[in-house]
Amino acid sequence: MIKLDDAYDENNIFAKILRGEMPNITLYEDDKTLAFMDIMPQAVGHCLVIPKEPAVTFLDLSEDGAAAVMATAKKVAAAVVQAMDAPGFMMAQLNSSAAGQTVPHYHMHILPRHDGLELEFHARKPENMAVLNETAEKIRAHL
């Protein structure tokens, strides 16, 4: 259960990714943010942007961290749209279990959308790594 007033858990999965203790398929990285493929994508090209600072929800994020996430999301979303030839895209982020948040480190979802194509269920089905790597390669080509 993730609550709005929770202290930051240094052992959450994205903290481990940031420390290099867990693998990830990186799309983009700078001194304040990391963008990588979501391993249980709701659409082909679904990826995440996270701040490097410890923050559970949007309310914990510094203004500087929030600005950095948005700047990276803008770059990555443009690349996702081009790579997936998407006529639209969604950006979403959930704050607390009550809102459906499952990983207690702030993250922005970027999801390409196509007319008539429904999203897969949230955080339900792991995608094959070869498929994720292939999609990542296409996105990186536009970054």
Which spans of this chain sit near ligand AMP (rule: CB under 6 A)?
13, 22, 24, 38-40, 94, 100-103, 123
* CB closer to ligand AMP out of 117 and 119: 119
Catalytic residue selected from 46, 105, 107, 109 = 107
Nearer to ligand AMP by C-beta: 72 or 101? 101
**In whole angstroms, how close is the CB of 103 to ligand AMP at the nearest point?**
4
Q: How far is the CB of 97 from ligand AMP (least distance, A)?
A: 9
Is 107 known to be catalytic? Answer: yes
Nearer to ligand AMP, 42 or 83 (CB): 42
- What string of H, E and C letters represents the secondary structure of the chain? CCCCCCCCCCCCHHHHHHCCCCCCCEEEECCCEEEEECCCCCCCCCEEEEECCCCCCHHHCCHHHHHHHHHHHHHHHHHHHHHCCCCEEEEECCCCHHHCCCCCCCCEEEEEECCCCCCCCCCCCCCCHHHHHHHHHHHHCCC
Which residues are annotated as catalytic? 107
